[in-house]
Structure 1
Amino acid sequence: MRNLTKHLVFLLLIFVVQTASSTVFAKKSKPNILIIMADDCTFSDLPLYGGKNVKTPRIDKLASQGIAFNKAYVTMSMCVPCRAELYTGMQPAHNGVCWNHSIARTGTKSIVHYLADLGYRTGIAGKVHASPKDVFPFDMVEGVERNSVSETANYDGDKLKEFISKDLDQPFCLVTALVVPHIPWTVGDASHFDPQKLKLPPYLADTKETRENFARYLAEIEVLDQQVGATLDLLKEANIEENTIVIFTSEQGAQLPFCKWTNWENGVHTGFIVRWPGKVIPGSRTDALVQYADVLPTLIDALDGKPNGDFDGSSFLPVLLGEKNSHRQYAYFMHNNVPEGPPYPIRSITDGEHHYIRNLTPKNLYIEKHLMARMPLNQYWPSWIFESASNSEIHELVMRYMRRPSEELYNLKNDSNEMSNLAGNKEMQPIKNRLSAELDKWMKQQGDPGAVIDSHEEFRNAKKGNHFLMEK
């Protein structure tokens, strides 16, 4: 009897040890998540998306190891709204971040909450630009410059490594929010570029100041590429590269005319790469239409969680797994100009082939105070104004930027830089009418009343947590 008891105890111990080991293995088998964000990097300036002026070997290598999205978008081409969208899975009118430098509605859940429910610790290194703290309770990770307008872009991989290796039994999500290539374009070596040999996109006026500023911007993209590479190397050093989902995104367009603070393609289109060893086909590309609001539901789905009904986005996991090459039928965009300038509300929509833009107050002049103010490191716009007096092409660009029609329509396949407005073309009316109707549906669904939101009063109220009464 005594021997039988010992035998049973022995078997029980084996069972306990095996169960504990299985639990630890299950924890370790959950993939880690690394999200690397650029800051104000126009997607079309990256070689991956056709850029001709700067080389990004580490970003290109990452794309060769994962899937690159050709049609990924932010809803608002401003730092705070687009990050809030990424972290909450909600678009601006839903999460309350309808203006730059505003705060999310109290009670909104973010990536930190959702991943905590799945056993993850979630930290952020670098630029935060998301508040209040109870909505975005990230662990603060040191090692990356947090001030996006700093003249430095400090980076200390050892600090990031501390977070990564803090608890190897618990999976992590780390957002590495870099501050390059956000202005003031003071890091990197601009001497790598000859301003006179740069291939300027057609939406930029060809002035000496534009070329010099563009060279400094490209130098920061070089630094971005280096910091992306250094961050990826940390995974290899920790021997967790094969068990980590990596997302790289370029955020919205640069602080140049027709990019950031606009609904044009080079403002709202973002570079987007996902690497997931063993799951994503290396070197693949997709035309699936996705937005930042889709990212959080996708991550939850990938971790075998249940994306809830609060999201404006939905999971594109089948696209990542190579099971589908389509996702959204439409992507939607919003712009409220306060506090970056006088009110100038814009709404727009794309089906991936055509882009319809509605300027809600077309009689107003468009003014963006940061871009148009003369600063020591931002002299391109004054040069546009000066040269427009004698250069008709530059004058046309200035007028196009500041004085906009009520409607715009572009064929993205034939006119990726959106230089030819087709809204008045009779043959395009069916497409314009369809997109216009779908835009109306989205605004109604979001509870977006349109132009009345874009006011200093509503912005001040939102900063106090008293958001405009908008219901999904």
Structure 2
Amino acid sequence: MHLIKSNLYLFLIIFSVACSNKKTSHTTTADLARPNIILFVADDHGTDAIGAYGNAVIKTPNMDRLAREGVRFDRAYCTSASCAASRSVILTGLYGHASGSYGHTHDYHHFSTFDQVQSLPVMLQVAGYQTARIGKYHLAPESVYRFGTVLEEDERSAVAMAEKCKSVISGEDPFFLYFCTGDPHRGNPFTPDVWSDPNNFGNRSEGYPGVLEEVYSPDEVIVPPFLPDTKESRAELAQYYQSVSRIDQGLGKLMQLLEEEGKADDTIIIYISDNGIAFPGAKTTLYEPGIKLPCIVKDPTRSQKGIVNQSMISWVDLTPTILDMAKVEYDKEQFHGRSFDKILTKEKDEMKRNIYASHTFHEITMYYPMRAVRSGDYKLIWNATYQLPYPFASDLWASSTWQGIYREDVKFFGKRTVDDYLHRAEFELYDLASDPDEVNNLALSEVHATLLEEMKTKLKDFQRKTKDPWYILWDHDPLMQGTGVKL
């Protein structure tokens, strides 16, 4: 009996080792076909300040090179123009209203993703990827957004951040690197000693290691049409441009390290931003400058280069897309987005779908739920608490760009009146083909009454399908509490 037990025990050990070796061999074989993936996320960077998107002034040679060697999306959208809320969507494939990520996580805000949500880095790590993050995190809880490696470096110093990633890039396992700069977010202090002084956007007189600072004259910057062409705006845009150019050099350093390690030909690089430029009229809004963002993808395994893709994509699509790129199986029903991996190198709109946006908070004191749908060239924004004045993020309120208008009691802020910016209609309907600046509200036109109802229906269907708690406000006074009706 003792001999039988011993032989059985020995058999189990041998069987276990054999299975272990078989599993290791299988993983190694799969890994040979799996690319490394870098998701590079800038902080408050719009399409207004990239050479590849048409700005002839700003110096972004590495972003431009990425576009020449890969794919540039011209109709890419975040779902909420707020840092934390947007980043949760990027890494979960779920709208923030469904995951609990209603606004900021840091300091006194305390919003947090539901703990049962499964995130991209966790799924990739289970599949055998080395996962690492560096720079701005702005997510909670850690248990949901867990990375295998956390690297520490000044998030304003993109070149130094890239240098810190050498150990990840040189590793043997396929890696997923979440590389998040603090640039070009506005820099502290948000409120200057003199109100008319421009924010520094993280720029400093002593510069940063390994960076050749690009300094711009306020006279040469290109003022986007949604901003006032004032000396204050131009001075702040010049600082913003400098911060963007510093990001570009960090991207260049990453690309250099990949080449030095022989990893350039099997590493996918995705460059995006969490939301639009940190100026009133963009960040925290659902207007185009706030949510229509850069998305440049270089996949060296694709032969097509320099593609301009016109498909409408959303940050809710990023998690399933990256899982497809990594050859990781998943349940498509667990995400609100859908992968655009198969149409990456197409030029026409191959997705054929509507795009949705969902914003509820930025800072915890900034309650202003908005939902939006873009269908073709038409876009509807629903301001659920339109009776309230539009709230300001602390950094945007203190900006000299805004204060220069506010203090002088100027009627217009860019192409929109100040009153229209602060006091919004319940519904805003725009034809982006004829009115790209979103100033002619068709919701007020009887001619477009049928279209308005069609767009409302699309929005309601979206909210029901994604279990949006704010759906209840369609049938209730938005200034009163809901009744907890099940969606």
Answer yes or no: same fold by TM over 0.5. yes
Relative to structure 1, the CA distance from residue 373 to residue 18 in structure 2 (aligned partners, 3 Å threshold; closer, same or farther) is closer
Counterpart CA distance in 2 for 1:199 and 1:324 is 29
Specify which of 357, 360, 368 is matched with residue 392 of structure 2: 368
Q: Is the 8 A contact 2:38 2:268 kept in 1?
A: yes
Counterpart CA distance in 2 for 1:54 and 1:41 is 13
Over aligned residue pairs, what C-alpha RMSD do you find?
A: 2.9
Per-residue CA distance 1:293-347 (angstroms, 9 max, x = gap): 1111112223333231211111112212549742251111112136354422111
Structure 1 match to 2:61: 57
Structure 1 match to 2:400: 379
Specify which of 153, 157, 180 is matched with residue 183 of structure 2: 180
Structure 1 match to 2:466: 446
SS of 1:173's equivalent? strand
Q: Is the 8 A contact 1:144 1:178 kept in 2?
A: no
Structure 1 match to 2:221: 198
SS of 2:284's equivalent? coil
TM superposition shift of 1:74:
1.1
TM superposition shift of 1:379:
2.0
Relative to structure 1, the CA distance from residue 307 to residue 207 in structure 2 (aligned partners, 3 Å threshold; closer, same or farther) is same
TM superposition shift of 1:393:
6.3
What stretches of structure 1 of length at least 5 have no aligned partner?
Answer: 1-16, 454-467
Structure 2 match to 1:333: 357
Structure 2 match to 1:7: none
SS of 2:310's equivalent? strand
TM superposition shift of 1:395:
10
Structure 1 match to 2:437: 417
Q: Is the 8 A contact 2:310 2:348 kept in 1?
A: no
Relative to structure 1, the CA distance from residue 356 to residue 60 in structure 2 (aligned partners, 3 Å threshold; closer, same or farther) is same
Specify which of 357, 377, 384 is matched with residue 353 of structure 1: 377
Counterpart CA distance in 1 for 2:23 and 2:472 is 59
Alignment of 1:71-220 (within 5 A): 71-101=75-105, 102-142=111-151, 144-146=153-155, 155-165=160-170, 167-168=171-172, 170-184=173-187, 185-187=201-203, 192-220=215-243
Structure 2 match to 1:298: 321
Q: Is the 8 A contact 1:372 1:382 kept in 2?
A: no
Q: TM-score, normalised by structure 2?
A: 0.81
What stretches of structure 2 of length at least 5 have no aligned partner?
Answer: 1-20, 106-110, 188-200, 206-212, 474-482
Structure 1 match to 2:37: 33
Counterpart CA distance in 2 for 1:392 and 1:293 is 34
Relative to structure 1, the CA distance from residue 249 to residue 369 in structure 2 (aligned partners, 3 Å threshold; closer, same or farther) is closer
Percent identity, aligned pairs only, is: 27
Per-residue CA distance 1:94-151 (angstroms, 9 max, x = gap): 22102222211011111122112321111111111111111011134425424xxx7x
Structure 1 residue runs of 4 or more that deviate by more than 6 Å after TM superposition: 17-23, 188-191, 468-472
Q: Is the 8 A contact 2:310 2:347 kept in 1?
A: no
Mean Cα deviation higher: 185-194 or 409-418: 185-194
Alignment of 1:228-243 (within 5 A): 228-243=251-266
Which amino acid in structure 2 is aligned with residue 176 of structure 1?
F
Counterpart CA distance in 1 for 2:353 and 2:241 is 34
TM superposition shift of 1:428:
3.2
Counterpart CA distance in 2 for 1:263 and 1:31 is 34
Q: TM-score, normalised by structure 1?
A: 0.84
Residue 48, structure 1, aligned to residue 64, structure 2: no
Counterpart CA distance in 1 for 2:452 and 2:310 is 22
Per-residue CA distance 1:22-59 (angstroms, 9 max, x = gap): 86454233111111111101123323223354131110
